[in-house]
Structure 1
Amino acid sequence: MFLEMPAFFCAGEPSGDLYAGLFIRELKKQFPDARILGVGNGQMRDSGAEIIFEYTRLMSLGLKDSVMSACHNYSAYRNIARWLCRLRPRVFVAIAYPGMNLLLCRYAKKIGVRVYYLMPPQIWAWGKFRKFFVRKWVDSVVSVFPFEAEFYRGLGIETIEIENPLVSKLSVYKRNDHHKRIGFMPGSRPSHVRRNMPVVLELTDLVYGHIADVECCLIAYDSRQANDFKKDVKDGVRVVHENRYQVMKNCDLLVIGSGTASLEAALLGVPQVFFNRPSFLDFHILRRFVRISEYNLANIYFGKKVVPSYVGYGRARLVNSICEVITNTVKLEKNKPYGTRGSPMFTKEVQ
């Protein structure tokens, strides 16, 4: 598949960087001398890729953020397109971030580069019209989700299904610290964090005020985000980013505002509650175009509701709903690991 090098990978946000890094590591095992370069951040860099452009100023999500960042994303698109033209890689691999990556797929195809799309557009959720762009500009879709691979094949699009690399990566973690702890993960994109952080800060105050002998910690994606978190949190709330998966595993409960982090927590077997606080425009306008009723990636992946999830624009309602789950869950027995897809996360389902 990737015998012809060099290969250019393009990840526009943290979850794409994560999967790209895992994918490149496996690729490097088979082809140690392969030259891989592209757009990404720490995970891709650590896997051995040459980073020519960092995505940190991209990462828009939703209607409002996409409109606000359109000019910058177009500038980034032109910059990356110039690199593609200059380097002329044999393979272009787009990872997530379809707002810009679909256009880059179009350009790569135009200059004769073979195009793969890892973590393709979620047209099973919304924007099904994008299937025409994928069919025209992408040679093969690469999916880590069985339901997604089946969906794309049903559209007549060439699809390669691979095992989700997170499954094997996370299976090695065991809990090694049984102090009562609640972890908070407000998201990876700056716009997500801005909306979710007020909910997290209010929840940490409530937890310290009503639950004895519990530690609250904010789990950051990287050191840059950790430094941003430290500016907002009060004394007593620990901010961590190193050895992130072990910290997650050592929690009694995780309060999560990111889809990929929710799936990671599910694969780790850690109880969690998921919440999402979209922008006003997304909540009242964009959701009318969404074709699915379930927003949590772990629930979609396992095919059943294993994670309580709350989506809403109002902060007070989200805080009240999450508080109820915290009260019921923080007293549960030790974490029970997942067996296969469909295994329950909670000893008692929370409505």
Structure 2
Amino acid sequence: MRYYFIAGEASGDLHASNLIRELMRKDESAVVRGFGGELMEKAGMQLVKHYRDMAFMGFLPVLLNLRTIKKNFITCEQDLLQFQPDVLVLVDYPGFNLRMAEFAKAHGIRVFYYISPKIWAWKTHRIKKIKAFVDEMFTILPFETEFYRQFDYPVNYVGNPVLDAVQSIPPKQPGAFFKKGNNMPDKPIIALLPGSRLQEIRSLLPRMLKAAASFKTHQLIVTAAPNIPDEVYRELLKGYEASLLQGKTYEVLQQADVAVLASGTVSLEAGVICCPQVVCYRMAGGALFFKIGQKVLKIKWVSLVNLILQRTAVRELLQHQCTVKNIREELEKILNNPAYRKQIDANYRELINRLGEPGASARAASLMVAKLQQKK
């Protein structure tokens, strides 16, 4: 069968790549094409456009790049029709993907959605488009089944692919071996993970660096997003002693005493790896956007760890709260308060238990192939 994938960011690229591998195992005739990243390409997909050309975040960047966004839609629509897949598989990224779902449906192409848009957080009205244009939704968070049920829309809960991704990495290396292999001093690590979008990196990394640099007993490691040029990081790292590593996010989280990270999938990844964390989010607008967000958002937390556990298991520093002082204070607690750290460890054990068994990618692939074969 022929599969067309669309993923618009780094985490989507990772989870879609694992799904593609499983689809190819279960469907020997599988041909995969689409928008995504190098991981999807490595898994066997014919890459049409890289997500680095699609990752616009926030009102102003979207406004300034409307021409590019429109061109991306036209390219995708034309390529989809030319390829004529048995199914369009969408991975999160709702602003782009829901429009493509409508287009595909209008042209008689089946639509599967893997990793639901976060409509339980905001823009709940998108449920109308999902019900109208998405044939099957494959969800990865346990609470999403109940959320969709209230709209009379059955979904396929397959478990969380973060468990698969983390399970696929080698066991933790001895600290000294890891540091020597990466030309680092033999000092404990504070990991800084400022996200995968240029705007959030420029907003968060300077604050992270300034806060973490206070802890002289530790060294700083910044994980680089594959779609961001090294020059961006080098400019921001001027004046700081910090190592920059690319393609080793999980290994860094395994080694770190604590991670300061951008809100997103990486929060859940850190939780599954059991690395204590400080969750950060800050874009233009500060306190005003925070107040607006409180009215617009339908959730109490933004990090997946807290959402799944339904309590504040890890500290979130959002908008005007994301200051050097607040980051530094939270790092101090994690690094120097054994009872506080012990509670975080207990929270992570509960989180892993709630996520269930690994194998989300394989379960999703089996279901997709079965549903496509039923319609033949």
Instruction: Show CA shifts across 1:39-95 (max 9, x none).
Output: 001221122211111110221233333333333212211110010111111100111
**Counterpart selection for 1:305 from 300, 312, 337:** 312
* Corresponding residue for residue 341 of structure 1: 351
Any idea what SS the aligned residue of 1:92 has?
A: strand
For structure 2, the residue ranges without an aligned partner over 5 or more in a row are: 177-186, 355-376
Taking only the aligned residue pairs, the percentage that are identical comes to: 27
**Counterpart selection for 1:216 from 197, 220, 238:** 220
Q: Quote how far apart the aligned CAs of 1:294 are.
A: 0.8
Determine if the alignment matches structure 1 residue 289 to structure 2 residue 296. yes
After TM superposition, list the pairs within 5 Å mapping 1:38-187 onto structure 2: 38-171=34-167, 173-174=171-172, 176-177=174-175, 179-187=187-195
Find the aligned partners of 2:229 and 2:208 in 1 and give their Cα distance.
Answer: 15
Instruction: Show CA shifts across 1:279-316 (max 9, x none).
Output: 217445455311112111221123332211110236xx
Describe the shift of the 1:327–1:119 C-alpha distance in structure 2 as closer, same or farther (beyond 3 A).
same
Q: Quote how far apart the aligned CAs of 1:227 are.
A: 4.6
Determine if the alignment matches structure 1 residue 239 to structure 2 residue 244. yes
CA contact (8 A) 1:226 1:240 kept: no
Instruction: Show CA shifts across 1:167-202 (max 9, x none).
Output: 133146435217411000111111211221221232
Find the aligned partners of 2:229 and 2:279 in 1 and give their Cα distance.
Answer: 20
Describe the shift of the 1:15–1:37 C-alpha distance in structure 2 as closer, same or farther (beyond 3 A).
same
Structure 1 window deviating more from structure 2 (150-159 vs 170-179): it is: 170-179
Instruction: Show CA shifts across 1:124-175 (max 9, x none).
Output: 1111111111111111111111111321232122311112121133146435
Find the aligned partners of 2:299 and 2:198 in 1 and give their Cα distance.
Answer: 25
CA contact (8 A) 2:267 2:305 kept: yes
Describe the shift of the 1:231–1:256 C-alpha distance in structure 2 as closer, same or farther (beyond 3 A).
same
CA contact (8 A) 1:275 1:311 kept: yes
Structure 1 window deviating more from structure 2 (217-226 vs 14-23): it is: 217-226
Find the aligned partners of 1:198 and 1:214 in 2 and give their Cα distance.
Answer: 17
For structure 1, the residue ranges without an aligned partner over 5 or more in a row are: 345-351
* Corresponding residue for residue 192 of structure 1: 200
Any idea what SS the aligned residue of 1:275 has?
A: strand
Q: Quote how far apart the aligned CAs of 1:261 are.
A: 0.7
CA contact (8 A) 1:265 1:271 kept: yes
Find the aligned partners of 1:223 and 1:90 in 2 and give their Cα distance.
Answer: 30
The AA in structure 2 aligned to 1:230 is R
CA contact (8 A) 1:41 1:54 kept: yes
Q: Quote how far apart the aligned CAs of 1:7 are.
A: 0.3
The AA in structure 1 aligned to 2:296 is F
CA contact (8 A) 2:196 2:228 kept: no
Aligned residues: 334
Describe the shift of the 1:115–1:308 C-alpha distance in structure 2 as closer, same or farther (beyond 3 A).
same
Structure 1 window deviating more from structure 2 (215-224 vs 261-270): it is: 215-224
Any idea what SS the aligned residue of 1:222 has?
A: coil
Q: Quote how far apart the aligned CAs of 1:273 are.
A: 0.6
Q: Quote how far apart the aligned CAs of 1:266 are.
A: 0.4
The AA in structure 1 aligned to 2:175 is D
* Corresponding residue for residue 348 of structure 1: none
Find the aligned partners of 1:123 and 1:223 in 2 and give their Cα distance.
Answer: 26
* Corresponding residue for residue 27 of structure 1: 23
* Corresponding residue for residue 371 of structure 2: none
Any idea what SS the aligned residue of 2:275 has?
A: coil
After TM superposition, list the pairs within 5 Å mapping 1:201-280 onto structure 2: 201-205=209-213, 207=214, 211-222=215-226, 224-234=228-238, 235-280=240-285
Find the aligned partners of 2:309 and 2:25 in 1 and give their Cα distance.
Answer: 29
Compute the TM-score of the two structures, normalised by the length of structure 2.
0.82
Find the aligned partners of 1:75 and 1:200 in 2 and give their Cα distance.
Answer: 35
Find the aligned partners of 1:278 and 1:82 in 2 and give their Cα distance.
Answer: 34
Describe the shift of the 1:342–1:246 C-alpha distance in structure 2 as closer, same or farther (beyond 3 A).
closer
Any idea what SS the aligned residue of 1:278 has?
A: coil
The AA in structure 1 aligned to 2:320 is Y
Structure 1 window deviating more from structure 2 (137-146 vs 296-305): it is: 296-305
Superposition RMSD in Å: 2.4
Describe the shift of the 1:183–1:106 C-alpha distance in structure 2 as closer, same or farther (beyond 3 A).
same
After TM superposition, list the pairs within 5 Å mapping 1:305-324 onto structure 2: 305-313=312-320, 318-324=323-329
Any idea what SS the aligned residue of 1:330 has?
A: helix
More helix by percentage: 2
